[in-house]
Amino acid sequence: MFNYIKAEMYRLTHKKGTYIYYGILALIFTAIVLYLNAEVKGFGDTYYSIFTLIIPLVTSFFIGIHVFIGIVMNDLTAKTLPNVLSTSLSRVQFLLGKLIVAFVSIVLVHLVFGFLFIGLGIFVQGGVDGQAGTDIVTAIEVAGVNILGVVGFMLLASIVAYFFQKSSLALVAYIVLSLGIIDGILSQARGLSKYILYVYDHLLGTYLNTASSSALKGALEVNQVVPLVIYLAVATIVAILVLTRIEIKEGE
Amino acid sequence: MEKMIETKNLNKKYGKFQALDNVSINLYKGDIYGLIGKNGAGKSTFFKVLMGLSLSTGGTIHIEGSHTSNELNHARKNIGFMMGTNFFPYLNGRENLEYFCKLKGIHDEKEIERVLTLVEMNGVNKKYKAYSMGMKQRISIANALLGSPDIVILDEPINGLDPEGISDFRHIIQSLNQEEGITFIISSHILGELGLMANRFGFLHKGRLVEELDQKTLQERTEHQLVVKVDNSEKAAYLLEEVLHTTNFVVNGQKELVLSDYVHESNKVAKVFVENGLEVYKLSPNETSLEQYFLNLVGGEEHV
Ligand SMILES: Nc1ncnc2c1ncn2[C@@H]1O[C@H](COP(=O)(O)OP(=O)(O)OP(=O)(O)O)[C@@H](O)[C@H]1O
Ligand SMILES: [Mg+2]
């Protein structure tokens, strides 16, 4: 499994598109901050409160989808699963390897953007003020919840991805999940029956919303993180069960 | 002789469709085994089941003497496998091979250069997505050779190679077989492509291994044959077996019997048939090519 993780990290770091993608994301973010800084008087004081609110929503989609494409979908579009799974790598090792690679990638990307975020913060506020320390702790909590969410959606979508072994379906699944489309529909319908309400209450998105809003207030509690971790564990087990039972398609 | 791969009554069903029907194959050390079959015969299915990409619905697989599924999985480490030409499009050939070296735990830095040189791809630095079909084919073969595995399984490796490529391919396989003792199993839907290099052949048809023979026998059989057309081929087959004591024949797509014995004694055959009340429409020696032999065996008229 360690060999597989090394191979995957090699592949992902040698994909030039990744650097271009994140480079553009970073540029856009920097441009927005600098623009607001020039236009809005007193922007510097509200920098952290504004962006800790917006960034998780944006990054979880833009970072998440890229990580999902790189880690789960690429195997399907390039049809490399037969090559990969015909080595002595077991399917359990394959999935756990993917999970670790996903965590590492997402944490790395969050770190890079975190530094950019703090760096820009120091710039627009004209230095580090007393408030910054607690703001950073909040940011880390928000990022942590964010990371669990992205990995959670990725695992759920990967169940669809491996079951059907169709990249288009996998992508649709990821987008539907990470944009909270199901959550939105159920949220509208939750008054209709207690079963719908029950399902709605136990969606990954619902747990994530609760945890994020607490994290934003700097009041994240352990019992808000536990459901997220349980989600990850169950999704991992289901993904392994699916993966060990499917027929690996040949690819043209 | 040391058995490298042994399957016993291997079965694979997709729903009710029998893709593999009691396939028992023995692959010995040093073999170059040609697995021949038309489109849809089950060649890829057989390899997928061997490699654990697809679960069999019956029968057993032993690789290098493995007995438990754990041992089997471990033994797959010693197999280089090529099925289709699928790599990451944004990496070049070298990087793709580097990926698989890391995955397989091959640390020798010269290994990639060695296999790239073998398939004459060491001078190509393009991204995989810009490769021609033949280049993709070559890099796939190179990947199967990484780390000099004991056994190399190649599913239709010749598709898409130009004539020079095919000839190079034969040389590579034969020299690796002789110098490094690598055992090969290679599938094709064209017998002639493998006729010159394989030492044993298995003919797969509709999921069944209809015949297995060595190169010498194949040569003998394809040199001369007798084609017999009668009004009742089942009865003729019975007479050949019971009276003339030979099973060296097949019934081809035109219901003719293609007989490999009695080639120079066609009078004996005619006599037996006529004496037993058969109408003999045709009885002629036939110089068959390899391809013809294969088609005779599996029924040249039908298509999948
Ligand atoms: N996943 C599947 N579900 C149902 N049937 C399948 C599946 N995979 C293969 N088959 C069927 O099994 C049979 C054997 O297919 P296979 O791909 O093994 O043939 P092949 O000998 O490799 O043919 P080709 O020369 O075209 O590659 C075919 O009839 C095919 O339709
Ligand atoms: Mg095939």
Q: ipTM of the predicted structure?
A: 0.89
Res B304: pLDDT: 42
The pocket of ion ligand 2, defined by CB under 5 A, consists of B 44
Across the interface, whether the CB atoms of B83 and A86 are under 8 A apart is answered yes
Res B54: pLDDT: 92
Res B89: pLDDT: 95
Res A40: pLDDT: 79
Helices then strands, each counted (H, E), chain B: 11, 14
Res A132: pLDDT: 57
> Which among A7, A79, A247 has CB closest to B84?
A79
Protein residue with its CA nearest to atom 30 in ligand 1: B40
Report residues of chain A scoring pLDDT below 70: 52, 56, 127-135, 251-252
Res B190: pLDDT: 80
- Please enumerate, as own/partner, the contacts of A45-48 that have beta carbons within 8 Å and a separation of 24 or more: A45/A125, A47/A120, A47/A121, A47/A124, A47/A125, A48/A121, A48/A131, A48/A132, A48/A135, A48/A138, A48/A139
Res B120: pLDDT: 87
**Going by DSSP bridges, is the β-strand pair B208-214/B200-205 parallel, antiparallel, or unpaired?**
antiparallel
d(CA A148, nearest CA chain B) in Å: 27
Whole-angstrom Cα Rg for chain A: 20
B52 near A CB under 8 A = yes
For A48-111, give the DSSP string: HHHHHHHHHHHHHHHHHHHHHIIIIIHHHHTT-HHHHHTSS--HHHHHHHHHHHHHHHHHHHHH
Res A252: pLDDT: 44
Res A156: pLDDT: 92
Q: Say which ligand is closest to the CA of B155.
A: 2
Res A78: pLDDT: 92
Q: Which atom of ligand 1 is least distant from the CA of B14?
A: 4
- What residue spans define the domains of chain A? 2-245
Res A29: pLDDT: 86
Q: Say which ligand is closest to the CA of B15.
A: 1
Res B303: pLDDT: 46
Res B300: pLDDT: 56
Res B11: pLDDT: 94
Nearest to B142 by CA among B124, B130, B129: B124
Res A134: pLDDT: 64
Report residues of chain B scoring pLDDT below 70: 223, 286-289, 300-304
CA of A135 to the centre of ligand 2 (A): 59
Res A251: pLDDT: 60
**Residue B287 CB coordination number (10 Å):** 9
> Which among A11, A88, A247 has CB closest to B76?
A88
